[in-house]
Amino acid sequence: MNNEIENIKKEIIKNVDLKKLTLAELRKTMHVKGETMWAYFNNALNELEEEGQIYLDDEGYYKKFDSKQLGKVQGNIHIDRLGNGFVFIEHNGHKIKYLINEENLNGALEGDTVVLTDIHHGKTNYADAKVEKIVKRAKGRTVFEYAGEGEFIPYTIHGNVTVICPKEELKQIVTGHRVLVNIGKEKIATISNKAVFEGHIAKIIGHKDDPDIEISTIASQHGFFKEFPEDVIEQLKTIPDHVRPEDFENRKDLRGQRIFTIDGIDTKDMDDAVSIKKNILGYYLLSVHIADVSYYIKEGTPLDIEAAKRGTSAYLADSVIPMFPHQISNGICSLNENQDRLTKTVDMLISPNGEILDYNIYDSVVNSKKKMNYNAVNQILETGIIPKGYEPFVNDLKIMHELSQKMNKINKNSGKVDFASNEIKVITTPTGDPIEFKPQIQKTGERLIENFMVAANSCVAEYYRWLETPEVYRTHGTPNEDHLIEALKTLKKEKLCSKEEVDRLINKIKNSHYNSSDLNFFLDHFKNSENYQIISLMLLKSMSKAKYSSTCDGHYGLGLKYYTHFTSPIRRHPDLMVHRLTEPFQKYSLSKINKYYSLLPDICTHDSEMEREADQAEKEVLDLKMAEYMQREYENDTTKIYKGRIIEMTPYDTKIKLDNNIIGHVTPQDLAHAKATGHNQKLKLGEKVYVLIKEISIPHRVIYFNLNYKELSKTKQKVKK
């Protein structure tokens, strides 16, 4: 079928390249007859339009998509919560960013494939444009609030958009309901300046007055739901709540060993445990034990299908939407203290200097002797204070710490890039009200567990790459050199980095003498700078994102040739797939191997997409909590002045991080207004500023600031004196 469609696509392009043709004319010219031929022809037309090879104009004519001749471009649109739309297009090796104002989105949603028109190029690599039409919906899923009388108001999206849903669907909703709507791509009307689309109610999220409705709204929009389907609930009845004698078959019994878990203090889904031994010659035997979820979740069952659909658990502030129901995630598969549990173990023989010499992967059964938390472990390793109940494990923890420090050196030498963490954690009351925003700092215990999990993941990846059997890999490509150089030039221009260090790294990149160790050396040079986090963030943004792949292409950020995700099967679907694929390859029939080879690319793509959805949902919930916090602050004092620092500047947004770790925005219009009223101070990246709250939007999870130039002027005068 694919070959047939490709041949039809070539013929369509050949015909529209000669002259523009209507659908009827094109069909007649190509002698399209019969239902099968018509289906192929229609699919080929849709694919060509989505690929941006042909263009359908308002008069119904198909023509070749010639950007220069048409004065239009086509690409995928991204829309931030300020309402800014932007499309990146490569032109002759240069990337141009097309900016679309909220009033010109024309119903486009995040990720949609759109055609842009009314393009006005500026002096830089930016251009203003309008959305002419939507070629393809990315998800076609968004949230509306029902206002009654058939009227739907968009809740989380920007632009004048509404939908018309079938009358029979309206019977199940009442005024004030938040609903997830599948929205069509064809605009069917314009009413009162609103673009009207056909819609279908996919899910009732809840009522606007329900507790936690905002978090439920965010989760639903990104494809995460607290409820599990009925067939999943039915299958749970067949899952045991304890390890049975028959489950021990072909497993190594490790229950007598001193094995323990180390997690966050509130963690309930514990999928990894560790143990260690050190001999008199200084060699280490490090063992990582991972919950054997695949033993209970068989392929093709309702639990497996639902896990594949979700892709990951979503951690949203103080709540979790798990990939598996709690009976699995907190029960039989969680390595709970003093409970027998089935696991897959990776034993690693490690040299006295921290190098992995050999490893063994096998099925096991363990009994965790202690549920440890990072706070207590850090107290032991950083201050020497031993909390009650940890006494029998102190020596093991000290040996682990010793090994982890050696691993740090080896990881750095191998090219692991150590970016600064920009993560913020919200602290809430028992009712979910935000009270504090703290930086996520990786301390000794967190780094120790990360090192051990990375080691286990790399061993599993190396082994199955050597076997050449189907596998899911975690890959991270080398950065685009142009993007990295552009970020470095910005750092130099803003005087955040020394000219000499920037030029030295740029020269290495241009002369192809550059690797991740050079980037590490560069970052180390500025580690004590007050701008270190901004420098790190800018370079991180120039990197490609890690993803899941059926091919072993290495992990640039970790400096590893072989890498996968094996250590979190309770909360990540790719890890479950890796567990399922760790059967001895002798068990694989040729048909089974070929089946996985054909399925894995799509599975990896979906899992990568759901990981991004979960990350975005997590970020939106954090922004929601920031907005709720500042809303409360504003209601108490509308004149309060806050101190912060500019952490990002673009032509369409200035992002400011306050001293309390709240992040807000100053719009270009407000900056322009300030200049027009006589405030001429030139602002730059990294500069300390004073702001007032201008506006807060809970639906869009965004805080708008106004700059307080009066305080800024006072500060600059003091600095000069």
Round to whole Å and give the CA distance between 337 and 368: 5
Average pLDDT value for residue range 313-328: 94
CATH for 120: 2.40.50.140
- Which of 19-23, 170-174, 338-342 has the highest average model confidence (pLDDT)? 338-342
* Pair type for strands 113-121 and 126-136: antiparallel
Q: Do 432 and 502 share a domain, yes or no?
A: no
Q: Do 129 and 98 share a domain, yes or no?
A: yes
**585 vs 638 pLDDT, higher one:** 638
pLDDT of residue 652: 80
Provide the domain limits for residue 89. Answer: 67-136
Name the residue among 697, 707, 706 with its Cα closest to residue 82. Answer: 697
Q: What are phi and psi of 194, to 5 degrees?
A: -100, 130
Q: Do 111 and 257 share a domain, yes or no?
A: no
Average pLDDT value for residue range 505-515: 82
Q: Which helix (H) or strand (E) holds 168?
A: helix 167-170
Domain assignment of residue 672, yes or no = yes
Domain assignment of residue 560, yes or no = no
Average pLDDT value for residue range 208-219: 94
Domain assignment of residue 528, yes or no = yes
CA torsion sign, 373 to 374 to 380 to 386? negative
pLDDT of residue 519: 86
pLDDT above 80 for 713: no
Q: Do 292 and 357 share a domain, yes or no?
A: yes
Per residue in 171-189, pLDDT (tens digit) is: 999 999 999 999 999 889 8
Q: Outline where 19-139 has alpha helix (H).
A: 23-29, 35-50, 67-70
**592 vs 677 pLDDT, higher one:** 592
pLDDT of residue 467: 84
Q: Do 296 and 310 share a domain, yes or no?
A: yes
pLDDT above 50 for 670: yes
Round to whole Å and give the CA distance between 643 and 633: 14
Predicted confidence band of residue 675 (pLDDT cuts 50, 70, 90): low
Burial of 497 (0-12, 13-18, 19+ CB in 10 A): buried
pLDDT above 60 for 715: no
Predicted confidence band of residue 67 (pLDDT cuts 50, 70, 90): confident
pLDDT above 60 for 614: yes
Q: Do 168 and 19 share a domain, yes or no?
A: no
pLDDT above 70 for 674: no
Q: Do 346 and 461 share a domain, yes or no?
A: yes
Round to whole Å and give the CA distance between 44 and 395: 66
Assigned token pair, 482: 């142009």
Q: Do 111 and 89 share a domain, yes or no?
A: yes
Cβ atoms of residues 469 and 593 within 8 Å: yes
Placement of tokens 């939407």 in the chain:
321
Cβ atoms of residues 87 and 75 within 8 Å: yes
Q: Do 376 and 345 share a domain, yes or no?
A: yes
Q: Which of 24, 45, 64 is the last residue in one of the domains?
A: 64
User: Cβ–Cβ contacts within 10 Å for residue 535, how many?
Assistant: 25
Domain assignment of residue 607, yes or no = no
pLDDT above 60 for 1: no
From start to end of 50-125, where are the E strands? Answer: 54-56, 61-64, 73-79, 85-91, 94-100, 113-121
Q: Which of 136, 151, 176 is the last residue in one of the domains?
A: 136
**496 vs 651 pLDDT, higher one:** 496
- Which of 2-6, 14-18, 560-564, 578-582 has the highest average model confidence (pLDDT)? 560-564
Average pLDDT value for the chain: 90
Name the residue among 338, 308, 312 with its Cα closest to residue 323. Answer: 312
Q: Which helix (H) or strand (E) holds 276?
A: strand 272-278
Domain assignment of residue 58, yes or no = yes
pLDDT of residue 174: 95
Report CA-CA distances (Å) from 98 to 81, 125, 151, 177, 418.
Answer: 17, 9, 32, 36, 33
Q: Do 344 and 262 share a domain, yes or no?
A: yes
pLDDT above 50 for 149: yes
Beta bridge partners of 287: 275, 347
Query: How many distinct structural domains can be found in the chain?
Result: 6
Domain assignment of residue 374, yes or no = yes
Q: Which of 87, 109, 136 is the last residue in one of the domains?
A: 136
Beta bridge partners of 18: none
Residues in CB range of 263: below 8 A, 6 or more apart: 270, 371, 372, 373, 374
pLDDT above 50 for 721: no
Domain assignment of residue 318, yes or no = yes
Domain assignment of residue 609, yes or no = no
pLDDT above 70 for 429: yes
Round to whole Å and give the CA distance between 297 and 668: 52
Percent of the chain with pLDDT over 90: 60
Q: Do 291 and 435 share a domain, yes or no?
A: yes
pLDDT of residue 661: 96
Q: Do 482 and 521 share a domain, yes or no?
A: yes
Per residue in 539-549, pLDDT (tens digit) is: 888 888 999 99
Placement of tokens 């709507």 in the chain:
181
Average pLDDT value for residue range 62-88: 89
Q: Is the pTM for the entire model greater than 0.85?
A: yes
